[in-house]
Structure 1
Amino acid sequence: MIQNGLHRLFVLLLLLTTILNACASFKPCPEGDKKKADNNMQLGVEYLRRGRNDIALDKLKKALNQCANHAEAHHAIAVLYERLGEDDKAKPHYQKALTFNTQNSDVHNNYGQFLCKQKQWEEADKHFLEALKNPTYGTPEIPYTNAGLCALHNNNFAKAETYLRKALQKNSQFPRALYQMAQLNYEQKNYKQARYYLQRYTEIANHTPKTLWLGIRIERIFHNQDTEASYALFLRRNFPDSEETQLLNQSETP
């Protein structure tokens, strides 16, 4: 009985210590440190945008040294580590960013994309939906499209179509959603619909190697040689070193 009582006391003390440590971790940073961290975070994000990953990493590390609870800095460094292919370092920073700001839709969306690449389909889906819970979020078409693309990677065509349609309901001219709907319909052999969505895409956005290669394959189905040739010429002329140009060349090899 005494041993059981001591064990329970130990568990309670351990739990109390954990709670106190958690509370301490949420303690706001001193105002001076927060301002310094804000400045380094903003510099880090700017260098990240410029592709200067080395300087960005240095600035973001400084920001977190100055304020360990800085949600935006955790988010930015997670994105940077993911860009560098260091997913083992990115994941805990995504989690900390959400710990310190649970309602940040951008973090939920980016973490969802990260989890999707890890093939953690259900967890990714949860975070895309969390991103959409914020009624003031200005671009809901983005997490809807990412959720659709993730479902597409998981070969869940029905869920992918549902999400992509919702994305287009929010923004009927969102290029990524239009392209993904074209791709989805092509995969399902709905070639007229695939052409329809690709045409809508071309009305508002510039062609990429992916959209041109999709267009080539669609026009081949309809034996529309002129449009197919036009797409092929555009692809070879503007993206000669792309993977899609290689696929085109391979497809024309006897």
Structure 2
Amino acid sequence: MNVRLIPVLLIAAYLLTSLAGCQQQGMTRSSSLDMDDNTGQFGASNRNKGTGYIYVKLAAAYMHEGLLMQAMQNARRALTVEPSNADGHNVIALLYDRLNKHDLAESHFKRAIGYQPQNSYMLNAYGVHLCKQNRFDEADTLFLKALGNPLYKTPEVALANAGVCAGRKPDMEQSERYLREALKHNPRLPVALMHMAKINYDKEQFFSTRTYLKRYREVALNTASSLWLGILTERELGNQDSVASYSLLLRNAFPDSQEANLLKESTKR
């Protein structure tokens, strides 16, 4: 396989997983490529303050910690005491999405949006779900609808998701337009920076790739994917010191990763 094609496959797969993450960490550093909540807050409008509200908050907290059983229990309690709680339907949809129960997830996404049709966070979350099902045009429609709400506080989230989704279609020109717009709103958005690095590598614009990777490292921790892309980029630029530095980091931090194996294989040639 052409070595230059490897980051396209690896990073595209990684960025897909970032679509399903939980609230962005803003300016903090994260341990992975994803914003901590690419799907937005769980009904950030907070219009539902009824009896189910506390259960929704508990469900969201448990889901953030990866305790899906407890999250599901509380989400179901929220809908038992308040069947029309849009946030409850949204959080249970996200849970079903994580469990790969796509029909149930879609049913609850639709119900959430039925109760709050202008809620950008829910529209964005549903768009992420559709993109993961390769329903790219439907997802794009939802991202654009989310962005059409002037009260949406984090439009960069939907823009970044739209960019990643367009890249999976693939429509790289559209992807780049969305990602650049996301970075106008938040120049330190890790997923947008990483995906722009990948796009520039594919275009053989290696100095730009280096710049985006540098910006990425300023706001997020290294990952196996980011280090491997750094290795490939610095090889193209002929900077062996940087190749050695990236390689050492990759071997030490991610010794069992696919990227570490690719590094081992590539150095045998």
- TM-score, normalization by structure 2: 0.79
Equivalent in 220, 240, 243 of residue 225 of structure 1: 240
Residues 44 and 203 (structure 1), Cα distance of their counterparts in 2 relative to 1, 3 Å cut:
closer
Q: Is 2:187 aligned against 1:172? A: yes
CA RMSD of aligned residues (A): 1.4
1:86 is matched with 101
User: Greater helix share, 1 or 2?
Assistant: 1
Match of 1:66 among 77, 81, 87: 81
Matched, 1:108 2:147: no
Q: How far 1:219 sits from its partner (Å)?
A: 0.6
Distance apart, 1:127 and its partner CA: 0.8
1:53-202 mapped onto 2 (5 Å cutoff): 53-202=68-217
**8 A Cα contact 2:143 2:158, kept in partner:** yes
Distance in 1 of aligned mates of 2:83 and 2:256: 44
Superposed CA deviations along residues 66-119 of structure 1, whole A, max 9, x for unmatched, are: 221110000000111111121121111111110000111111111111111111
Q: Secondary structure at the match of 2:268?
A: coil
Contact in 1 for aligned 2:234/2:243 (Cα 8 Å): yes
Cα distance in 2, alignment partners of residues 92 and 252 from structure 1: 49
**Kept after mapping to 1: 8 A contact 2:224/2:250:** yes
- Cα distance in 1 for partners of 2:201, 2:177 equals 16
Residues 62, 203 of structure 1: alpha-carbon distance in 2 compared, 3 angstrom cutoff: closer
Give me the whole-angstrom Cα distance separating, in 2, the residues matched to 1:248 and 1:149: 26
Kept in 1, the 8 Å contact 2:86–2:112? The answer is yes
Which one of the candidate residues 243, 248, 251 is aligned to 2:263? 248
- Give distance in 2, aligned partners of 1:120 and 1:144: 17
Structure 1: tracts of 5 or more residues without a match: 1-33
Identify the residue that residue 26 of structure 2 maps to in structure 1.
none
Larger CA Rg, structure 1 vs 2? 1
Structure 2 equivalent of residue 3 of structure 1? none
Q: 5+ unaligned residues in a row in structure 2: which ranges?
A: 1-48
Of 54, 57, 68, the residue aligned with 1:42 is 57
Q: Which has the higher contact order (CA 8 A, sep 6+)?
A: 2
AA of the residue aligned to 1:219:
E
CA distance in 1, matches of 2:135, 2:76: 28
In the TM superposition, what whole-angstrom CA distance separates every residue of 1:229-250 from its partner, at most 9, and x where no partner exists? 1101101111122222222223
SS in 2 for 1:252: helix
Partners of 1:107 and 1:87 lie apart in 2 by 16
| Distance (whole Å) between structure 2 residues aligned to residue 110 and residue 213 of structure 1 | 30
